[in-house]
Every structure is written in C-alpha cells, then in structure tokens.
C-alpha cells in the first residue's frame, strides 16, 4: 500500500521548509533569531554543512617562528627543525613553536610554558645528543628578531 500523493508532496515541502528555516536561522545574525531556534539550527547545520575555509587557504602567520636548542652552555644555537629531515618532525617543530608563541606576553624574554608543551619538547630533545641541561629558545622574526627563552612548566 502506497502513501497518497498529496501526503508525500506535503511531507517533502515540510522537509524543504524546515531545512531552509534551520539554515536561515544558522546564517542570520544572532539578534534576529530566537535563542532556542538558534541552538537547534547550530546543532543541525554545524555538523552537516559548516565549512572551515582555513582548510583550503590557511591564514599565513604574521611572523616567522622557529625553535632553537643549545646543548652546551656556550655551544651554538641549532634550529630544532633541522635536526631531522622528515616532514612529521618539521610539522611537530612548527606546531610547538606556534603553541609557545601563543602564550608569550609581548616583550617577554623568558617564559614558562605549559606542561603539554614541556613534555612535547622533552620528547623531541630525546632525539638529540645527550646533554646536562639543553636550553630551548624561540626565535620570532617579525620585522626584527626577538628571542624568548623557553623554560619547562612545573610538573604536577
């Protein structure tokens, strides 16, 4: 037994109208949409239709960022990303540098980083020759060079 044609058309029109209403409520400014409808529209549209355009064209960083390490107290500074040539290592170094950069107040020359970054840097430094106390700094190039010494965060 099939459903009457009128019921199918009415159901399709209701689905299309509901879809359009939820997408409009998701797109319109929050002041135009009742709060409850806004929540429903976000629950519907974000999961299925939201696009993050940074996936296709990321915003380039304003400044250059590199992590450097010094294994001996008076030794030379070496770029951490040049220690190994594989792309995963280079990506880890870039992400660690951006993470460190986000937490540095303006004008700081020494900063204590969060535990997550401390652990990540410790594991990355395991790939280097052993030293007593390697020193890590961030080189930020934004017109002029700025160096910020990175100290591990407290262990909890």
Residue 54 pLDDT greater than 70, yes or no = no
Span 136-144, average pLDDT: 81
Buried b (16+ CB within 10 A) or exposed e, 101-121: beebeeeeeebebeeebbebb
Residue-wise pLDDT for 12-45, tens only, equals 999 999 999 999 999 999 889 998 998 898 888 8
Give the per-residue pLDDT at 16.
96
More confident residue, 65 or 28: 28
When pLDDT is cut at 50, 70 and 90, the band that residue 72 belongs to is: confident
Span 56-79, average pLDDT: 78
Indicate the DSSP class of residue 156.
-
Sheet holding 110-112, edge to edge: 78-79, 64-70, 135-142, 144-151, 110-112
H/E segment holding residue 78:
strand 78-79
> Among 142, 5, 148, which Cα is nearest to 67's?
148
Indicate the DSSP class of residue 137.
E
Give the per-residue pLDDT at 65.
84
């Amino acid at each position: 037994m099939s459903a009457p044609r009128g019921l199918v058309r009415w159901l399709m029109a209701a689905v299309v109208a509901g879809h359009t209403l939820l997408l409009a409520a998701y797109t319109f400014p929050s002041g135009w949409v009742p709060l409850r409808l806004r929540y429903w529209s976000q629950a519907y549209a974000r999961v299925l239709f939201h696009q993050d355009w940074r996936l296709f064209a990321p915003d380039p960083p304003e400044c250059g960022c590199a992590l450097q390490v010094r294994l001996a107290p008076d030794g030379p500074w070496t770029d951490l990303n040049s220690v190994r040539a594989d792309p995963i290592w280079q990506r880890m170094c870039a992400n660690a540098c951006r993470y460190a950069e986000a937490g540095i107040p303006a004008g700081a020359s020494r900063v204590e980083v969060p535990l997550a970054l401390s652990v990540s840097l410790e594991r990355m430094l395991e790939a280097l020759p052993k030293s007593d106390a390697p020193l890590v700094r961030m080189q930020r190039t934004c017109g002029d060079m700025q160096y910020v010494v990175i100290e591990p965060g407290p262990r909890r």
